[in-house]
Structure 1
Amino acid sequence: MNTISGAARPLLGCGIVAGPLYVGVSVAQGLVRDGFDFGRHAWSMLANGPYGWIQSANLILVGILVVAFAAGLRRAGAGRAASWLVAVFGAGMVAGGAFPADPGFGFPAGTPDGPGTASLSGTLHLALSGVGFVCLVVAAFLLARQFAPVWTRAVAVAFLAGFGCIATGGGAVWANLVFTGAIILVWGWVTALAADEYRGASA
């Protein structure tokens, strides 16, 4: 193992952990939080209410893991542009945790049914997270040249479409479910990419 690959492995391992951690913690909260409905509420809304700090911490921690993963990609030779774009995605997650999404559609329990009033925090959450999402899509197209080209491009398109649905769907159940599916799909891709790069670094 060369020195560069050896230094990259722990950072690439962060990418393996990030997706399962984010999805697992989000789903677990969604199952036990009073009033949360997977069909109506985006996972980021879990940052509201008495236990909202858990989802905020989840977003921030996973974002830091993604930034570390991006550094591992750079050391493993994935390319400067793709690595920086993945890092911006991670930074967007950190920002999403620092600026919670607005409550609405009956969550947290007791919140009026409907989209709610847009706040500065909610606006920043959507804007900064959105920048990160777009950066991840572009990074995926760049990384498709070296990792599962057809699957990677398909995931990138699906994730962009899912984000478009949640941004324009007005709280519709179908839009939220499409976005949730896209989130799970893209995290599966990140995990697979990280595992592949990790194996390559150990060669």
Structure 2
Amino acid sequence: MNQRTVAEASRPTRPGPAARRVGSPCDPATGVTRSLLAYGVLAGPTYLLVSLAQALSRDGFDLTRHAWSLLANGAFGWIQITNLVLTGLMTGAFALGLHRVPPAGPGATWAPRLMGAYAVSLVAAGAFRADPALGFPAGTPEVGAPVTWHGTLHFVAGGIGFGCLVAACLILGRRFSTEERRGWAVLSRLTGVLFLAGFVAMAASAGSTWGNLAFTAAVVLAWAWMSAVAAHLYRRTAPGH
């Protein structure tokens, strides 16, 4: 081996594009994916804190009787409308991140699609305001409030979106099960089942306290689940994982 060959062999080589992509903290694709997943972490706390702040401060709103969607009515209804649209967009970003994370396998196709459909339903729920009901806002009759076209579309959007959310929970539960992540599998399936039960309780109870509180608890659980899953996938997408 001559001196030129020895020099070339000892010279540091510059990694190619493929080598730089794998496990690189500066990888643009990984950075985009993690940013999208981060919106999934933030969506739940944003929705819950903004809704709770209004529920505790709006005159006539009763947490035990009124669904949070009713906050879209009244002089300050624009706050809840914005909250629904903003968290819908955040959930849509999470759905895109979810699409970029899992390899081929159970849930790789349908989990992101279902979460995306849920995101669209949130935006639609903000665009089509819920009808006033149960005495809120002030002046609304306790029973017999008129049903409007936008109130009907709000209910339809919510029903479709909630169904997609339940299905996404169950599909991701199956996904985690195949990965032998039993804790995440149980949490995902349990969230889907309990959320469905909470929605049915609210629809069947005709505005009773127990039905409304059951659904409120289910909503809190579902948002907490989404934030936890998004954070879990965010950490898994970090370089070296």
Shift of 1:152: 1.0
Shift of 1:118: 1.5
CA distance in structure 2 between the aligned counterparts of 1:115 and 1:105, rounded to whole angstroms: 9
| Residue of 156, 159, 163 corresponding to 1:134 | 163
CA distance in structure 1 between the aligned counterparts of 2:68 and 2:83, rounded to whole angstroms: 11
Q: How many residues align?
A: 203
Counterpart of 1:31 in structure 2 is 56
| Residue of 204, 214, 220 corresponding to 1:168 | 204
Q: TM-score, normalised by structure 2?
A: 0.82
Checking the alignment, whether the CA contact within 8 Å between 1:18 and 1:191 is kept in structure 2 is: yes
Counterpart of 1:156 in structure 2 is 192
Q: TM-score, normalised by structure 1?
A: 0.96
| Structure (1 or 2) with the larger CA radius of gyration | 2
Structure 1 moving runs of 4+ over 3 Å: 1-4
| Residue of 143, 146, 169 corresponding to 1:117 | 146
CA distance in structure 2 between the aligned counterparts of 1:101 and 1:179, rounded to whole angstroms: 16
Counterpart of 1:189 in structure 2 is 225
Q: What stretches of structure 1 of length at least 5 have no aligned partner?
A: none
Checking the alignment, whether the CA contact within 8 Å between 1:63 and 1:91 is kept in structure 2 is: yes
Counterpart of 2:84 in structure 1 is 59
Task: Tell which deviates more after alignment, 127-136 or 160-169.
Answer: 160-169
Q: Does residue 93 of structure 2 align to residue 68 of structure 1? A: yes
| Residue of 88, 92, 95 corresponding to 2:124 | 95
CA distance in structure 2 between the aligned counterparts of 1:167 and 1:115, rounded to whole angstroms: 16
CA distance in structure 2 between the aligned counterparts of 1:88 and 1:189, rounded to whole angstroms: 17
Q: Which has the higher contact order (CA 8 A, sep 6+)?
A: 1
Counterpart of 2:7 in structure 1 is none
Once the two structures are superposed, residues 139-192 of structure 1 have per-residue CA deviations (whole angstroms, 9 ceiling, x without a partner) of 111111226111111110000111111222211111100000000011110000
Counterpart of 1:105 in structure 2 is 134
Shift of 1:80: 1.7
Task: Tell which deviates more after alignment, 109-118 or 167-176.
Answer: 109-118
Structure 2 vs 1, CA of residues 150 and 119 (structure 1 numbering), >3 Å: closer, same or farther?
A: same
Shift of 1:202: 1.1
CA distance in structure 2 between the aligned counterparts of 1:187 and 1:115, rounded to whole angstroms: 32
Question: Kindly, what percent of the aligned residue pairs are identical?
Answer: 47
Structure 2 vs 1, CA of residues 169 and 106 (structure 1 numbering), >3 Å: closer, same or farther?
A: same
Counterpart of 1:18 in structure 2 is 43
CA distance in structure 2 between the aligned counterparts of 1:115 and 1:169, rounded to whole angstroms: 16
CA distance in structure 2 between the aligned counterparts of 1:140 and 1:104, rounded to whole angstroms: 30
RMSD: 1.2
Q: What stretches of structure 2 of length at least 5 have no aligned partner?
A: 1-22
